[in-house]
Structure 1
Amino acid sequence: MADFNTMRATHAGTRTAMIDAGLRAHMNKVYGLMSAAMLITGAVAFLLANMAMTTDPALGVAQIGASKYLTQFGATLYTSPLKWVLMFAPLAVVFAFSATLHKMQTSTAQIVFWVYAALMGASLSSIFLVYTGVSIAQTFLVTAIAFAGLSLYGYTTKRNLSAMGSFLMMGLIGLIVASIVNIFLASSALQFAISVIGVLIFAGLTAFDTQNIKNIYLQMAQSDEEYLGKAAIMGALQLYLDFINMFMFLLQFLGNRE
């Protein structure tokens, strides 16, 4: 795979400046798309959670905490079979999106990305029923700071992170298997271990994916705008998933339950 410093070394003067400028523009687009997706996710999660909960006992159908009740909408959303749709719809969409992105127009891919971000917001809205709003905000801030530092490292380091990426992907597969097993075991010790390993894996993937996005651009810098636009969307999706997963695992440590 092309390395940024090697690529720059083979060009000089104006050409090097063009590569640098193009890379900065590409990364800015990736981060911009990711940030917009995060805003959509947060807005949808907050809106649905507020529609699902009430502090008025007369409007509630089930108590879920001190002075907190589920509305009829919330009961339908989180206790009916619809909860399985909320749980698995984002997973189905992201797999289908990744498999068909190359066939889409860039504009269509961007719309699908926004739809996926909204579905993820609906899926994550239940965290407002479990954790306090303050602890969610604090965990989000901690995640944002950690993500920024890790992504900056991935962008600036001269170390090739490809080997680390292969190791992390194997670890991710193991993490998924352990999570499925723990659905049946319901072991708090195993859940703690899964959370610790999950944070470490997605922290590493943040740095790896950032470097990989940069290297892909350098390999394909001469491609047409349509291809680079799709590459930016895929890069944004990868970093978005790194952020969301790191946030969720950290929330299990830092979140105060209702």
Structure 2
Amino acid sequence: MNNHPISNTPSHVNESVLATNKVIRNTYALLSMTLMFSGASAAFSMAMNLPHPGIIITLVGYFGLLFATMKLRNSAWGIVCIFALTGFMGLTLGPILTAYLSLPNGGLIVSQAMVATAVIFLSLSAYAITSKKDFSFMGGFLMVGIIVAFLAGLGAIFFAIPALSLGVSAMFVLLMSGLILYETSNIIHGGETNYIMATTSLFVAIFNLFTSLLHILGFLNGED
């Protein structure tokens, strides 16, 4: 008599679970590396006292490198592109951090924004992973919301409307929180099988979440 337990789980299900776990591991490993690289780029930008490149160069560089990452996501060049993208974003962040740190309460504001970003990201990621809820229904809403917030943000910059800029930052905090839930859920349920694109989405969410919280906290502390 055979006393070994017999698994009734189809082999293709086991393979799917293993593939999903691999994507999760690769995504968080690459995300950690890109966050460190972006932080190093920001520190370099601050040490060299580099000026902010301006909205036009920032947008061209961001969307150009984002397009390149998407185009090459299935090759080794995709890794190069995502580090180029996150490094570039770090360089643009450096001057912003320098400006905040020069304020009387700047160090506290930056620290609060970093801690809040970490808590939000870790909490939402843990919730999505442990609950295994499907947040794919948020996809359409997030896409429309991000486009609207992006256009409103451009309007706030070009027309110099501080109240609108603050409102956009609040919108981005909610939208990026939703994007973290959506993308994490997407990985778990097999909707996203490319860890380079999963990392890109999560990095962009973290970056925008941090800068938005920085703006809001700066305003609340009377420094923005």
Class of the TM-score when normalised by the shorter of the 2 chains:
0.7 to 0.9
Aligned residue pairs: how many?
208
2:20 is the alignment partner of 1:23: yes
2:175 pairs, out of 201, 205, 230, with 201
Q: 1:39 matched to which residue of 2?
A: 36
Q: 1:62 matched to which residue of 2?
A: none
Q: Quick one: distance in 2 between partners of 1:137 and 1:91?
A: 28
Of all paired residues, the percent bearing the same amino acid is 27
Q: 1:111 matched to which residue of 2?
A: 80
Amino acid at match of 1:101: L
Contact 1:87/1:123 (<8 A) preserved? no
Q: 1:101 matched to which residue of 2?
A: 72
Show CA shifts across 1:135-159 (max 9, x none): 3233112101110111222223344
Which deviates the most, 207-216 or 31-40? 207-216
Amino acid at match of 1:182: A
* Pair 1:167–1:85, CA change in 2 (3 A): closer
Q: Residue 134 of structure 1: CA displacement?
A: 4.2
What TM-score do you get using the length of structure 2 for normalisation?
0.82
Contact 1:202/1:245 (<8 A) preserved? yes
Contact 1:155/1:214 (<8 A) preserved? yes
Q: 1:178 matched to which residue of 2?
A: 152
Show CA shifts across 1:2-60 (max 9, x none): xxxxxxxxx618765554444333211101101100100001111121111xxxxxxxx
Which deviates the most, 85-94 or 207-216? 85-94
Q: 2:95 matched to which residue of 1?
A: 126
Q: 2:166 matched to which residue of 1?
A: 192
What TM-score do you get using the length of structure 1 for normalisation?
0.72
* Pair 1:123–1:113, CA change in 2 (3 A): same
Q: Quick one: distance in 2 between partners of 1:188 and 1:120?
A: 23
Give the 3-state SS of the residue equivalent to 1:137 in structure 2.
helix
Q: Residue 185 of structure 1: CA displacement?
A: 2.4
Show CA shifts across 1:149-199 (max 9, x none): 112222233443222221121111110111122123212221121111110
Q: Quick one: distance in 1 between partners of 2:212 and 2:145?
A: 15
Show CA shifts across 1:66-93 (max 9, x none): xxxxxxxx3xx44xxx545355312321
* Pair 1:151–1:251, CA change in 2 (3 A): same
**Rg larger in structure:** 1
Which deviates the most, 234-243 or 137-146? 137-146
Q: Residue 207 of structure 1: CA displacement?
A: 0.1
Any unmatched runs of 5+ in structure 2?
A: 1-7, 102-106
Amino acid at match of 1:245: N
Q: 1:66 matched to which residue of 2?
A: none
Any unmatched runs of 5+ in structure 1?
A: 1-10, 53-73, 219-227
Q: Quick one: distance in 2 between partners of 1:87 and 1:51?
A: 22
Q: Quick one: distance in 1 between partners of 2:58 and 2:172?
A: 22
Amino acid at match of 1:90: Y
Contact 1:23/1:214 (<8 A) preserved? yes
Amino acid at match of 2:149: L
